[in-house]
């Protein structure tokens, strides 16, 4: 493994590291089509006191060359090379190298708004929160949709509410958040290496263990729907890892008395039948929503209720 610091000296690096507010970790493997847009969104952040840690996970295409070109122009970019071990190992490597007050993650085929980290950092500091979360947009080839859209700045310390407002288990994404580095290191929770859906294992434990979560409106992480990514390729391993990840998640919530409502795909459904025909179906959506469908197909009513439904 080799590292490239485009800085004048080692002492300059450590002086710079002392003022880093956010360390952004990017696992990169064969992303030459997308990495330039990702890095452009980071070097143009309104929050200037950041470091950008790119972990080149054994790329065999032009990824390394593109990263190096950016690093020559921006001294905040740190490149770490390792043999291909997967995104979990790359993130773990980045966490160990990070010097910032907070840590964030960006996937190499995604990008963020220019004020993304300034808003997250300001929200976290305002409430002295160990974690700050904001909205994200899913970008497909033809359609963009807001998959998580926070409307208010709110701070939560109750465990079940923290988990619910992080939109677990519906959205187990680590990249629309920042995490206080010192608190994260004390938890000593690493991404499980060699497994897919590693976010599902990691995120619930981190949100559970950290002190508080603040929701930050007004800025977006842009998640690219990439049909060539590992988790979108159907295989026996993806199926097994997905099932095991959710089993682990729900077992953790049960053991720690985290009470939230599951998505309808894995939650309960109540059906009203007449003469054997399904007339009305009530589905429970995370975190507190009931949806009524005529014949199980046509949505006719949506009701949001107070509190959270026990998922087990």
**Residue 54: closest CA among 2, 115, 16, 10:** 2
Q: Which residues contact 138 (CB under 8 A, 6 or more apart)?
A: 144, 145, 146, 147, 223, 225
Among 11-25, 90-104, 152-166, name the one with the lowest average pLDDT: 11-25
Among 90-104, 158-172, 182-196, 234-248, the range scoring the smallest mean pLDDT is: 234-248
**pLDDT tens column, 203-246:** 999 999 999 999 999 999 999 986 555 554 567 888 898 888 88
Pick 311 or 86 by higher pLDDT.
Answer: 86
User: Residue length, the chain?
Assistant: 312
- pLDDT of 129 over the 90 cut: yes
State the Cα–Cα distance between residues 249 and 252, nearest whole angstrom: 5
> What is the mean predicted confidence (pLDDT) over 125-149?
86
Distance CA(302)–CA(288), nearest Å, equals 11
* Residue whose entry in the numeric block shows the structure tokens 């309808």: 264
Residue 285 has a pLDDT of 62
Please report, for the chain, the start and end positions of each structural domain, with discontinuous segments joined by +: 3-255, 261-312
Note the pLDDT tens digit of each residue in 66-112. Answer: 999 999 999 999 999 999 999 999 999 999 999 999 999 999 999 99
Considering the domain 3-255 in this protein, what is its CATH number? 3.90.550.10
pTM of the model: 0.78
Tell me the two tokens of residue 138. 């899913």
Q: List phi, psi (to 5°) of 142.
A: -125, -20
The confidence score (pLDDT) of residue 85 equals 95
Residue with tokens 């309104």: 46
**How large is the C-alpha radius of gyration of the chain?**
21
């Amino acid at each position: 493994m080799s590292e490239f610091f485009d800085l004048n000296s080692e002492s300059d690096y450590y002086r710079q590291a002392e003022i880093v507010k956010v360390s952004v970790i990017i696992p990169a493997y064969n992303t030459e089509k997308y990495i330039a847009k990702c890095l452009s969104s980071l070097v143009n952040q309104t929050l200037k006191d950041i470091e950008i840690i790119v972990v080149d996970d054994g790329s065999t295409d032009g990824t390394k060359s593109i990263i190096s070109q950016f690093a020559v122009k921006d001294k905040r970019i740190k490149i770490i090379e390792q043999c291909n071990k997967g995104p979990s190992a790359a993130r773990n490597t980045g966490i160990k190298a990070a010097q910032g007050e907070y840590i964030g993650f960006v996937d190499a085929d995604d990008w963020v708004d220019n004020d993304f980290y300034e808003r997250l950092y300001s929200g976290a500091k305002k409430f002295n929160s160990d974690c700050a979360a904001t909205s994200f947009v899913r970008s497909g080839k033809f359609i963009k949709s807001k998959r998580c859209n926070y409307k208010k700045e709110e701070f939560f310390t109750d465990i079940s509410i923290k988990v619910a407002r992080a939109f677990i288990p519906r959205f187990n994404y680590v990249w629309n958040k920042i995490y206080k580095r010192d608190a994260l290191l004390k938890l000593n929770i690493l991404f499980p290496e060699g497994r897919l859906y590693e976010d599902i294992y990691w995120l619930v434990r981190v949100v559970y263990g950290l002190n508080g979560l603040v929701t930050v409106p007004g800025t977006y992480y842009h998640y690219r729907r990439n049909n060539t990514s590992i988790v979108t390729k159907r295989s026996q391993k993806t199926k097994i890892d997905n099932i095991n990840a959710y089993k682990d998640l729900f077992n953790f919530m049960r053991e720690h008395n985290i009470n939230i409502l599951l998505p309808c795909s894995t939650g309960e459904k109540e059906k009203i039948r007449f003469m054997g025909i399904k007339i009305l179906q009530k589905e429970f959506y995370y975190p507190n929503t009931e949806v009524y469908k005529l014949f199980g197909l046509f949505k006719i009513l949506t009701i949001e209720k107070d509190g959270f439904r026990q998922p087990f």
